[in-house]
Amino acid sequence: MKKLFTVGQVCKCCGVSRSTVLRMENRGLLSPAHVDENTGYRYYDIYNVTKILHIQMFLNMGLTYDDAYSYYLSSGKSPELLSALKNRLTLLTRAYEEMKLRMDDKQHLQPEIITLPEYVCYQKEFEGTSWSDKYRDMYNLFGEVVEKGYRPLISERLFVINNSDGREKEGANTYICCVPLEPSCADADTVFYPSCTAFSMLCYGDDKAISKAHAEFDEKLRALGLKPMGRKRGIGIVSGYTGKEFLQENYVSRLIVPIEDLDNEEIDRLNRSGLIKIR
């Protein structure tokens, strides 16, 4: 005879509340193995228990009940869920790399080739003479985003497009401050950025360290034989306006430049070199 369990036993085993189990039932994710006709008591089997644990795993990964429903409805072949998992993995990888960079106390990570997603931005051009000017201008631009009711894109960082090579020079430099937005915010005041292949490198440290990293970034770009297809971007990950509790020497930024798409032969060449990670 199949072994059955009460809702209390299931809740204790899975570490969930009775309301959570009922919520899963109401969402079509779970069906009791047996319901007593006289008492209305619900009983669950091993399959129910393992399914609850599986759904809890999804929730702990930051996914939703709807994601779990899509997974089971498609027999584990949901394109939407796969995309959600990929986005979640990207965010987790970024967070891990940022923290590891600080823990290792190194100036930068190994350079990478990544794929930037498409997004829309609210942006403006500014002129300044120092890194503090860029921080100030980005801070003010982000304030405009809030005032206009735009929704910043949580998965993408604020960034600056440098009209020069990005290193500090005497006199004023022009640059564009950009705030990525949710796609629904696209209007006449926003700019669309298509998806592209990009050369990337994380930088760690204060203004002087990041300025020095610009030179190394350019050298590695040339050494790897990569062809830029746009201007360099400085992406703020933790700076004065996103983590004011952080000391300046703990700032982390990412330098990125769009590059020409790579064919299979070029990808093989770069993989064999061991000098760069390709995602």
What is the value of pTM for the model shown? 0.72
198 and 263 housed in the same domain:
yes
Any domain includes 91? no
Name beta bridge partners: 113. 199, 278
> Residue 240 — very low, low, confident or very high, per pLDDT cuts 50/70/90?
very low
115 and 23 housed in the same domain:
no
- Enumerate the H helices of 30-122 as residue ranges: 46-60, 65-73, 79-104
Region class of 62: left (phi > 0), else alpha (psi between -120 and 50), else beta: left
CA-nearest of 199, 197, 207 to 255 is: 199
Residue showing tokens 């570490």: 15
pLDDT at 247: 67
Q: Give yes or no for residue 45 having a pLDDT over 90.
A: yes
30 and 125 housed in the same domain:
no
Structure tokens at 267: 């990808």
Q: Give yes or no for residue 134 having a pLDDT over 80.
A: yes
Name beta bridge partners: 236. 253
63 and 114 housed in the same domain:
no
Q: Give yes or no for residue 270 having a pLDDT over 80.
A: yes
State whether the Cα torsion 271-111-237-148 is positive or negative. Answer: negative
Domain residue limits at 203: 103-278
Give the Cα-Cα-Cα angle 261, 263, 264 (nearest 5 degrees). 140
Write out pLDDT tens, residues 137-174.
Answer: 988 999 999 999 999 988 788 888 987 654 555 667 88
